[in-house]
Structure 1
Amino acid sequence: MKKIGAGFIFLFVMCAALSTTAFAKQPYSSYWFPEQLLQWSPASDPDAVFNRSTIPLEDRFVTDGVNAHATKAPKVMALSALNSGTSGVPSQGSEKFGANTFTYWQYVDKLVYWGGSAGEGIIVPPSADTIDAAHKNGVPIVGTVFFPPTVYGGKYEWVKQMLQQNSDGSFPAADKLIQVAKYYGFDGWFINQETEGGTPADAQKMKAFLSYLESHKSASMQFVWYDSMTKEGSISWQNALNDKNAMFLQDNNKKISDNMFLNFWWKDLKSSAEKAKSLDRSPYDLYAGIDVEAKGYDTNVNWNLLFPDGQPAITSLGIYRPDWAFNSAESMEDFFARENKFWVGPNGNPGNTVSDQAWKGIANDVIESSPVNKLPFITNFNTGSGQKYYVRGQQVRDKGWNNRSLQDILPTWRWIADSKGTSLTPELDWSDAFYGGSSLKVSGDLSHNNSTHLKLYKTDLKIEASTKLSVTYKTLNKPSLKVGLAFADQPDQFIFLNVKDKTAPGWTTETLNLTPYKGKRIVALSLYFDTMDTISNYSIQIGQLSIQNANDPVKTLPPVRDLKVTQSDFRDGIYGDARLEWKPLDQQVKQYEIYRVLPDGSEVLLGATPNHVFYVPEMRRIDKETLTALKVVAINGRYEQGQASSVKISWPAYPKPIAEFKADRTLVAPGESVNFTDLSTEVTEEWSWSFESGSPAVSTSKNPVVTFNQEGVYNVSLTATNSSGQDTIIKKALITVSKEASAVKNLALGKPATADHACGDKEGAPNAVDGKVTDNSKWCALGNLPHWLQVDLGAEHQISTFIIKHAQSGGEWSGFNTSDYTIQVSNDGTNWTDVVNVQGNSAAESTDAIALVKARYVKLITLKPTQGADTAARIYEFEVYGL
């Protein structure tokens, strides 16, 4: 861990030390089934306050765009799964760099936070960080109510529960949806009813439910209906607005929902547009859906039906699963490249989408919007993720992170790099940053012949007498840089302000006076790179662009008050986490940063949030420290740090070890080796092994390899020791050495298998013992936990090892790998004995070797089938090895 000095923050100690007994748990974003929603309240949900957005929906504007083909009237709705699962979504980002930090908000008018499943929950509000990011960019974001088809576990009783109506005409579930959106701070709901079993009466009740939402919502809320259920109550996708589904959009003069998302298989949109007009609704209230989940920008779309050449767009555009760009990418760099091609086309230039490729990018048809319309405007080009974190150029964190709440307004145009030669290459770069985790990097060979004009932001900023512009950069070359401004009276012409051509180590800030342009409105912001020399391998990092009024009163923020640890928890005596809260400051705060003070007095950033609560992710104890100080410091709108408050956590007494180990196999032939893996708690400092008839017979290695030469059955013991004590574990008859070991095989292959449930006829128990992990050959189970899978081996066998191939082995998301499971054996199928108990597995394939046991029946019990709250079991293969 790199260190920073303690001097840049004034320490204001609010509490000398605090030790709590309540357990601190990672707060997660909400998800519910209808009964849970009806019982939910912020007061009863300890995670609720962590899931609130604190950033209001910003205004944004649209003017003429850079693409001559694009028009203003059509809107874009994106249905995007911004997190990998419905459950297990941390409320305030996480400790990893790789995350779907979507950044093309300028082409989206409404974002649907896509989620929900029969195994997790079907009512899914957006995570707080996605609300924050959307709102910064002026984009309304709505949650999802997803009633799945029955083939995916949907239950019509969930529809009935949502449509329960009181005698006074109110709908309790509708009231809850409005309450959730108001409390969490997002903008409405997308209603997707695809569960079969409805009647005409149910359809009328659904219409009344939607009408109730419309009449009781706040003015800013929006509700979107999906083209699935018809007026008959059946599920029949019309791919159009017609008499079968129009009542869910409009009923005579009464609005029922704000928008309708039309299913994907449309072959004509003009009839839908005319139907909307006949209802006195705009055709742009309809979103013609395209499904890009599988192929992204290789999806075949008949664009001319939606955006006919030389004519107005017929309807708006709905994009289902543009998160394809993240899901299909091999790296974050690849993700950003795929997103760029998806949104602005293969040329990588929103102003030039002319191409012989069918997919020309969304920018070809839709004009970009911008929220950059008030001062101060400051961008650090922070994507909301990073491999490190920097504060004013100083590294304060050396490991990955993501938190979309911290994302800056990124360049409107990515990228317009005009040059008469080969232009320099701009990119968002995570290798260095001035504030946050990324910066703008511009590189290439630079000369006067390829001077490059990089247009960045569409703006509407009025210059006052005290308005100043500053640019912060880092380069090993001369900067060769000017800042370009275009004004409202001549929007196509730029004036350029010189940045001093000097070299300096580290980050350099140049401030430029805009007083000569007082009263003008800046409509575009750019950078211009030029030199009379030739600079090979020119490279510059732009860490910050800022336009602000110098006379605006911005004071150093005071310490936060009432900082306290509301919960804390310790694991193995050396890991601890905590929940913090404090009273938010009355002054304008950009964000709060949370630091850990290390034993040597240096500090490391744990994270940041615009909220007034924060979860401190699990920290490892350093040496045998007894107290750890945590500091909270407020950051103002100019990214200046205020005074810090501090609270301390007391660690428990340093523990002695708990010994544990495993063997990679327990049945071997004479002369074969066994790999032993130490699983003792991390506080272990010394290991002492004993192996009956092994070579070596004793070892002090952490993970020894031992050869067994003589047939027999042998014990293994391990003593784990540290300065606080020791612990010994003896596993009797663990290793069996036999010449018959060469005959070990998968005893479960092709044997009769049964289970508690199956997700469908093609996902039954026999799939788990068919020897295949391809072609989606798996056992899947929905319903109440625990799930179980039982195999009849046909006769009594000596069993030594179990191998389970979880969801990821079959190509599914790693979050679906089984976490907790038990394996039992039996001779009669009635009386069972536990032989394996596993908690916290995350691997795609798990191997559990046991002391040899005789049994005919084997049962796998999945206690926690996934890494999150999804209750669906997914087992591609269950292998049982023995003689």
Structure 2
Amino acid sequence: MPKGQKESEFGYSDKSDLINSFMNYNPQTDKDAKFNVASVPLATRQQAAGSNQNQDKTGTTRHHAMGVVNKNTSGTPAQGNHNFDGYNFTNWSYVDEYTGWAGAINEGIIVLPSADIIDAAHTNGTEMLGIIYFDGFFGLTADALKGFFDKDEAGNYKIVDKHIEVADYFGFDGWFWNNQANANPGTVDEAEVTAVMAQYSAKVKQQNKKQRIVMYHNALGYGDQLATDYLTNGADNYISDFGFSNGQKLENANDKEYAFKNHTMININSYWGSLKQGNYDFNYEVKGKNGYSTSYASFAMADTYKDFAQGSGVGIKQSINKQKNFRDNDKALFVGPHGDPSQVTDKETGIAPIIGERTPIIGEQFSTNFSTGNGIDFYSGGQKVSDEQFIWNHRGVTDIMPTYQWIVENTNGNNFGADFSYEKAYAKGNSVSFAAKEWDENNAKYIGGNLKTNGKTKAKLFGSNMKISNQKISMKVSAMREAIDLITKSDPSINFAFELKFANGGEKTITPTSVEFVKGSQNWYDLETDLSEFSGDTLTEIGISFTGTKDLDKVFVDLGELAVTKPSLESKLDFVDDIKYEYLIKDHDFNTANIRMYWDAAPGTVERYEVYQIVNGEYKILGTTRTNAYFVENIDLSLGDKIAVKAINKYDENDFKITIRGINH
């Protein structure tokens, strides 16, 4: 739960009621459940235009990622926290399923993914799985599993219905069963494990639930027969053991039929040195070595996260340097040694040479602010709404991430690269920033780029499969050299364009027909144009470009929003119902308050809720969420006694509604 929501932080010390049986758990009566429920349904996605010639273009080569999404199993925040450091993953276009690795005999062997990481995954079309953690290497015993295999009078395993119920209620997509129980010999009957799995698979299909079951076994003493047992009895995927068996052969099964379900596992931790050097041949390890697997599973993917222990500087600069190190490691893993998926070869390290990119941009509209779900300040509508440094982390407000990270082409002397930046944002906490590729560790930021007369920088950002009729396309951009605005209408030093590709019309460079300053913003401009002339065609790639009209150095270009919207589909928001306080705890000595609050979801297409305290008529940000439940702590009541919840339209930031309630009300 979020900090401040544990019973001990409300003054309780009795822990006897904190250990609940999974079988007896009822989310309907759990007051904490509302904070843990995902609010974003799984986005449908399709194969995008590929970034290189080596990768699979059919979608039959899949990637199951297993990574630590939180440092500890216990104490995981459901509604974010004020710690910038975290595994804020961005390369969703290469991941079909994600298991948040967690669990231990002393912390729990059935672990649900937290709401924030479910919403981040679902926004980008990736399935998120909970984990059943049977680890006989680290203390699991038969006694610890007492009751797990109990049946009812009809012979049904009771645990099956509970797993379906819990996944359905909290909004995630099924379970990864890490079955290493018999590393401690005799802990489980393997045939019974298979029977539970088979019953789960059958019931999910009977109930028309879109849930999956993925099996892993280290095959200690069992050979390869378990792979066949699992897959022929309903498992959606089977993961081979750490690359050592490298795609276990499926005995007594049609190899071709099951090959795409058989994922060869590579332990990122074991091969990290080779990965960083760019000389680990993923293609051979996954497909060429054995012929029994066409798919891939990455274990310890978040070992890139271990670099959070490193980073020069102090305070927030150290955190930003750590985050940069993490992104560089993730880049090496996903797109290879060049930092560009279009440049990687089939013999080099990287997931991009294997997995073709996927995209959730397949409807008639899309909008993104590129939020990674964290920041060192908070922005709304191009304005900083945190009056002091406001460090925050809530992966639940992660946006659709760029499909291609990063394909940037410079000509005529420009030297810009792309990356996420927390220096400036249009909304939430970050933008996509174009600057020189050199990183200044002392100031924890990139060095400004060189903009040349007629120098052009072109970035391919998204794959899509969007039917065009009467939509418009827009971007929010800022271009600065020190304190000088480069987009001014009177004498612009830089011109922007949309770089689009259509299924029938080919590549098009489209100049915006409208360039308007965003009132009240910090040098942000709204650029847009109509797409009606392409009606009937399909938009397959989306990017931007900018061209210099003068020679300038130290230039920073920030992209804060990119959207394709359709006016006829506008859905106006209404106010949220009255904000309800579940608990309001005041500390009269310090004149502060902690509040657990919730509200009915606002009608309309809500992108997010922003929670504020009203201070002298101004709105002071307290946090943001996509869930209709939130917790705020240590509110200084001397500053103001009113709370506001602002609902913001997903496709029109000017369509918002604010509901206010007094703290003493």
TM-score by length of 1: 0.64
Q: 1:283 aligns with which of 255, 259, 264?
A: 259
- Deviation of 1:25 after TM superposition, in Å, equals 5.7
Give structure 2 stretches of 5+ with no counterpart.
1-6, 12-16, 312-321, 436-448, 480-484, 487-492
Q: Which has the higher strand share?
A: 1
Matches of 1:216 and 1:186, distance apart in 2: 17
- Deviation of 1:290 after TM superposition, in Å, equals 0.9
Change (3 A) 1:485 1:64: closer
Matches of 1:438 and 1:472, distance apart in 2: 13
Are 1:428 and 2:420 counterparts? yes
Change (3 A) 1:500 1:633: closer
Q: 1:114 aligns with which of 65, 85, 101?
A: 101
Q: 1:483 aligns with which of 498, 501, 505?
A: 498
Change (3 A) 1:48 1:604: same
- 1:759 paired residue number: none
Are 1:596 and 2:585 counterparts? no
Change (3 A) 1:319 1:307: closer
Paired residue type of 1:170: N
8 Å contact from structure 1 (residues 473, 509) kept in 2 = yes
Are 1:471 and 2:475 counterparts? yes
8 Å contact from structure 2 (residues 468, 536) kept in 1 = yes
- 2:648 paired residue number: 635
Change (3 A) 1:597 1:534: same
Matches of 2:549 and 2:627, distance apart in 1: 49
- Deviation of 1:648 after TM superposition, in Å, equals 2.0
Are 1:393 and 2:382 counterparts? yes
- Deviation of 1:351 after TM superposition, in Å, equals 0.7
SS at match of 2:189: helix
> How far does the alpha carbon of each residue in 1:180-238 deviate from its partner, in whole angstroms, 9 at most, with x for none?
1000000000111223355598222212111111111244100011123x5xxxx4475
Q: Where in structure 2 are the equivalents of 1:444-455 lying within 5 Å?
A: 444-447=449-452, 450-455=455-460
Q: 1:326 aligns with which of 294, 305, 309?
A: 305
- 1:649 paired residue number: 663
- 1:608 paired residue number: 624
Change (3 A) 1:169 1:639: farther
> How far does the alpha carbon of each residue in 1:817-866 deviate from its partner, in whole angstroms, 9 at most, with x for none?
xxxxxxxxxxxxxxxxxxxxxxxxxxxxxxxxxxxxxxxxxxxxxxxxxx
Count of aligned pairs between the two proteins: 601
SS at match of 2:260: helix
Q: 2:229 aligns with which of 234, 239, 247?
A: 247
Matches of 2:641 and 2:516, distance apart in 1: 44
SS at match of 1:607: strand
Paired residue type of 1:176: K
SS at match of 1:38: coil
- Deviation of 1:641 after TM superposition, in Å, equals 4.6
- Deviation of 1:588 after TM superposition, in Å, equals 2.4
**Percent identity among equivalent residues?**
25
- Deviation of 1:362 after TM superposition, in Å, equals 0.5
Change (3 A) 1:55 1:244: closer
- 1:87 paired residue number: 74
> How far does the alpha carbon of each residue in 1:424-473 deviate from its partner, in whole angstroms, 9 at most, with x for none?
111111111111111111122122574222111101122223x1111211
Matches of 1:304 and 1:565, distance apart in 2: 54
Give structure 1 stretches of 5+ with no counterpart.
1-21, 27-31, 652-883
Matches of 1:455 and 1:488, distance apart in 2: 16
- 1:144 paired residue number: 131
- Deviation of 1:310 after TM superposition, in Å, equals 13
Matches of 2:47 and 2:18, distance apart in 1: 39
8 Å contact from structure 2 (residues 498, 511) kept in 1 = yes
- 2:550 paired residue number: 533
Change (3 A) 1:413 1:275: farther
Change (3 A) 1:148 1:554: same
Q: 1:47 aligns with which of 8, 25, 32?
A: 32
Matches of 1:575 and 1:292, distance apart in 2: 46
8 Å contact from structure 2 (residues 336, 350) kept in 1 = yes
Are 1:187 and 2:178 counterparts? no
Are 1:258 and 2:221 counterparts? no
Are 1:296 and 2:272 counterparts? yes
Paired residue type of 2:93: Q
Matches of 1:24 and 1:43, distance apart in 2: 23
Higher relative contact order (CA 8 A, sep 6+): 2
Matches of 2:290 and 2:8, distance apart in 1: 61
Q: 2:214 aligns with which of 208, 224, 234?
A: 224
8 Å contact from structure 1 (residues 594, 607) kept in 2 = yes
> How far does the alpha carbon of each residue in 1:583-607 deviate from its partner, in whole angstroms, 9 at most, with x for none?
2233222222211112x22221111
SS at match of 1:561: coil
- 2:482 paired residue number: none
8 Å contact from structure 1 (residues 596, 630) kept in 2 = yes
Change (3 A) 1:510 1:148: same
Matches of 2:171 and 2:354, distance apart in 1: 31
Paired residue type of 2:406: W
Change (3 A) 1:268 1:121: closer
Change (3 A) 1:501 1:642: closer
Q: Where in structure 2 are the equivalents of 1:128-143 lying within 5 Å?
A: 128-143=115-130
- Deviation of 1:128 after TM superposition, in Å, equals 0.3
8 Å contact from structure 1 (residues 462, 519) kept in 2 = yes
- Consecutive aligned runs of 4 or more in structure 1 exceeding 6 Å deviation: 32-35, 309-313, 499-505
SS at match of 1:323: helix
Q: 2:571 aligns with which of 546, 554, 557?
A: 554
- 1:752 paired residue number: none
8 Å contact from structure 1 (residues 417, 423) kept in 2 = no
Paired residue type of 2:230: F
> How far does the alpha carbon of each residue in 1:487-509 deviate from its partner, in whole angstroms, 9 at most, with x for none?
01144x33332477899971111
Matches of 2:603 and 2:567, distance apart in 1: 22
Paired residue type of 2:55: A
RMSD over aligned Cα atoms: 2.9
8 Å contact from structure 1 (residues 297, 341) kept in 2 = no
Q: Where in structure 2 are the equivalents of 1:825-844 lying within 5 Å?
A: none
- 1:168 paired residue number: 154
Matches of 2:149 and 2:74, distance apart in 1: 24
8 Å contact from structure 1 (residues 406, 609) kept in 2 = yes
Matches of 1:265 and 1:104, distance apart in 2: 23
